[in-house]
């Protein structure tokens, strides 16, 4: 991990583009939430990311809840406006690369 000084990465210290914290199926989960017309249940999310384990999906959803990207309703999980902006921007950046 690069050394940080006051929240900045020192010059010359490269950051690896892929994070070991990313789960298999994270992009599929984001896509499913963005494409959904309403709430998705946990089972819907599991089906959307067949390569992910239930633990992976739970961790991804937990992080998304903590970051304010999705919220939980009685029907399931719904992407919030902030999540829609961030997940859509991220998807566009991956499509360009």
The pLDDT tens digits of the residues spanning 17-62 come to: 444 456 778 889 999 999 998 999 999 999 999 999 999 999 999 9
pLDDT at 78 over 80: yes
Query: pTM of the entire structure?
Result: 0.68
pLDDT score recorded for residue 58: 95
Within 13 Å of residue 20, how many CA atoms lie on the same side as its CB? 1
Q: Which domains does the chain have, with CATH numbers?
A: 25-96 (1.10.10.10)
Which residue from 82, 89, 84 is spatially nearest to 32, judged by alpha carbons? 84
The model's pLDDT over 1-24, given as tens digits with 9 standing for 90+, comes to 444 445 444 444 333 344 445 677
């Amino acid at each position: 991990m690069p050394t940080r000084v006051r929240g900045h990465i020192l010059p010359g210290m490269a950051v690896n583009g892929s994070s070991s914290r990313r789960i298999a199926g994270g992009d599929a989960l984001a896509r499913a939430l963005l494409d959904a017309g309403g709430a998705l249940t946990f089972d819907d999310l599991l089906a959307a990311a067949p390569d992910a384990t239930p633990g992976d999906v739970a961790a991804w959803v937990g992080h998304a809840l903590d970051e304010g990207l999705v919220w939980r309703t009685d029907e399931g999980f719904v992407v919030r406006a902030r999540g829609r902006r961030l997940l859509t921007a991220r998807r566009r950046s991956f499509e360009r690369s």
